[in-house]
Amino acid sequence: MPQMPLKNLCAGICNAEQLPSHCSLRFRKTSHLRKHEDFQHTFEVGKQSFGRYITLWVNKEPSTGNRIGVVATKRTFHDAVQRNRAKRLMREAFRLLQPMLDKSKPWDIVVIARRAILEQKQQQIQKEMLLLLKKQHLIQGNANEVASNSPN
């Protein structure tokens, strides 16, 4: 699959006339869901989408800006190493997809890992997250070519 140039990928985050070295795809702490009440509110009000490797809950009417929460439970992943790997895979997939997200309306997303995530590569998790975000209508523009933008 051909890789998109970083300049095209970053158009949603930074000014397109800037050089790619000025673009930032960081997953900032201000973008994290932190409080238990915020997670619970997303579960109560939000809509869910199920995938093979992740489950996605989306609340399209939060009180604050765009945030994401990542969950890997002890019940599913008994070992801390497995929980941390699952969370890393989900965060990286979201980080690479974040330029495509519709930023015109606020949303909160909770991503829950399923056991099968441990047997997959990051690209597969990214493709599934892209599909689930499309189902929830959070992807703006043409997102077909961006699924291949992750490094090897």
Higher-pLDDT residue of 133 and 61 is: 133
Strand partners, 69: 110
d(CA 19, CA 65): 27
User: Concatenated DSSP letters for the chain?
Assistant: -PPPPHHHHGGGTS-TTS-GGG------GGGB---HHHHHHHHHHSEEEE-SSEEEEEESS-SSS-EEEEE--TTT--SHHHHHHHHHHHHHHHHHHGGGB--SS--EEEEEE-GGGGGS-HHHHHHHHHHHHHHTT-B-S--TTGGG-S--
The answer to which of 27-31, 32-36, 96-100 has the lowest mean pLDDT is: 27-31
The tokens of 80 are what? 């801390």
Q: Where residue 16 falls among pLDDT bands split at 50, 70, 90?
A: very low
Higher-pLDDT residue of 6 and 23 is: 23
Q: In this predicted structure, what is the pLDDT of residue 29? A: 77
Mean pLDDT score of the chain: 82
d(CA 13, CA 103): 10
- What's the whole-number mean pLDDT along residues 116-142? 92
In the predicted structure, residue 46 carries a pLDDT above the cut 90: yes
- Indicate the pTM of the whole model: 0.77
CA distances from 77 to 29, 90, 111, 116, 152 (A): 24, 14, 15, 10, 26
Higher-pLDDT residue of 151 and 127 is: 127
Sign of torsion over alpha carbons 73, 76, 82, 87: negative
Q: In this predicted structure, what is the pLDDT of residue 7? A: 45
Q: In this predicted structure, what is the pLDDT of residue 24? A: 65
Q: Where residue 152 falls among pLDDT bands split at 50, 70, 90?
A: very low
The tokens of 129 are what? 């997250």
In the predicted structure, residue 51 carries a pLDDT above the cut 80: yes
d(CA 139, CA 62): 18
pLDDT tens figures, 92-117:
999 999 889 888 889 999 999 999 99
- What's the whole-number mean pLDDT along residues 5-10? 47
